[in-house]
Amino acid sequence: MSDSCPFPPSPRSRAAVPFDGTGGTPARDGSGTPSSAAATEGVGGGTQLPAPAAAGAASICPVDGCFVVLPCALADAPGLLHLRRAHVIYDVPAADVANFGLAGCRWCDSPYPSARKRFGMSPLRAHETQCRASPRRRLRGTALATGAQHVTPQAPDAVTDLFSTDRFEWERARRAFLAAVPADANGWAPLVASPARTLSTVPPALRRAWALLGDDALAWAHRAPDDPLAWLWLLALPSMIFHHPAPRAAAARAPMPNAARAAALLGGDFSAALGDRDAGVWRAPPAPPGRRARLSLARGGARPPPPSAVTAGQRRALRLVQAGRLSAAARALMAAPVAPRTPAVWTKATLLFPPSLDGLATVASVEREFPAAVAEADAFGRTSGVPAALPRAATDDALRRAPRGTAPGPSGLRMEHLRALGELGQVALAAVVRLLAAGIGGI
């Protein structure tokens, strides 16, 4: 079932306009609208439900921490689409789950209406038959990729969850995995700053794993700030759990589903998760330029895009519009394109950084020539720096006000990932932020 299929009449509408139990039409007043008594009386009488928003009226997602403005009521098709794309059934308030008749998918926990249609299956049942996290679907995908007739992959539920059953053994396996990485630029840099792309949002199948692993990683960094392995794990975890799989044509092997990826990390199989991340590193090969484009490149010009192709700036503008950042989308459309990789551009860029010559200013010469200005700047930095005590409310407010759709850092961590942390993860995140703001040494 696709997301564009129409849904049956929502339970919200049935609760707002109840029937009298005799099969007739609901009671209406002289204007043709349901009367106030009928609007507050439930089916069978005696049950009073909260009056929902009118159909088509804009509303705000009721999930705690989600501030997405919906163009309609939550029970309408766009509202239900937002719920199943951005949240799991455990995130939706219990009142909305009961009012709208929602239930979670047995494989990915996405909320879907469970009421059966007059003809056919319910939206929940139709989704479960096509869910990407279903073991049956993974069985079919593995069989097609390998050409085998009988393949029995291990379901994520069958993998031992060491994180929940034996935390000591899981931590021992994690430390052994991190200690095996060479402690130099050739070992730590590829693990932390991977070229793998990360997902812009947290999929439902990874929400539980991220809530547990993210909280544990932040708590470890706060508990042992002098342990370099704690910070190595904190920076390597986002790309290992949120890496975007490569397309089938560019993938070196079949990627692991999100549920299997979460099961591997919770089960202590970090090498499998790292191998799946590294196998998903890809870049689209550039299309061979035509004769006119070759002449333009030979003269140092930019490669003209095909007339019908969508440029990188347009794709970024579409992502910003989806995140609700219209001003940033307009700036992305009007921004100058990235300079082409030509020898002329490289030569011009190197001229911006002249080589070091004798007689240029150094730190010692500046301090010697301008002692008063340096002392004044140092005093200003001590008085207007980060306060000694950073309140928890300040970190929560900074996280809430951070713009959506921003580019991640070298670790692949995004603001959407931090917002998806649970309550314990938010507390640990605020503690780590206060620890970094206080200025600790050795990290």
Give the pairing of strands 111-113 and 59-60: unpaired
Residues 161 and 270 in one domain: yes
Enclosing domain of residue 227 = 152-283+390-438
- pLDDT surpassing 60 at residue 63: yes
Average pLDDT over residues 301-326: 73
Gap between the Cα atoms of 77 and 82, Å rounded: 9
Task: Indicate whether 6 belongs to any domain.
Answer: no
Per the structure, how many domains does the chain have?
2
Q: Any alpha helices (H) in 199-288, and if so which ranges?
A: 204-223, 228-242, 258-266, 270-279
Residue 289 has pLDDT above 70, yes or no: no
User: How far is residue 158's CA from residue 136's CA, in Å, rounded to a whole number?
Assistant: 14
Asked whether residue 17 falls in the same domain as residue 125, the answer is: yes
pLDDT digit string, tens, across residues 213-236:
999 999 999 988 889 999 999 999
301 versus 25: the higher-pLDDT residue is 301
Cα–Cα distance for residue pair 169/269, rounded to 1 Å: 12
Domain membership flag for residue 248: yes
Structural tokens at position 363: 């730190």
* 114, 168: one domain: no
Q: State residue 363's pLDDT score.
A: 85
Q: Which residue has the higher pLDDT, 437 or 352?
A: 352
pLDDT(51) > 60: no
- 165 and 75 inside one domain: no
Clarify whether residues 272 and 163 are in a common domain: yes
**126 and 175 together in one domain:** no
Question: Has residue 257 been placed in a domain?
Answer: yes
**Same domain for 15 and 94?**
yes
Handedness of CA 61, 108, 241, 393 (dihedral sign): positive
Fill in the DSSP letter of residue 28. B
Q: How confident is the model at residue 290 (pLDDT cuts 50, 70, 90)?
A: low
Q: Whose structure tokens read 């008594």?
A: 37
- Domain assignment present for 293: no
Residue with tokens 């707002």: 16
| 179 & 277 share domain | yes
Q: With respect to residue 380, please indicate whether it lies within any of the assigned structural domains.
A: no
Angle, vertex CA 251, rays to CA 249 and CA 257, nearest 5: 115
**Could you write out the three-class secondary structure of 81-122?**
HHHHHHCCCCCCCHHHHHHHCEEECCCCCCEEECCCCCCCCC
Measured distance CA(17)–CA(43) in Å, rounded:
9
Mean pLDDT computed over every residue of the chain: 75
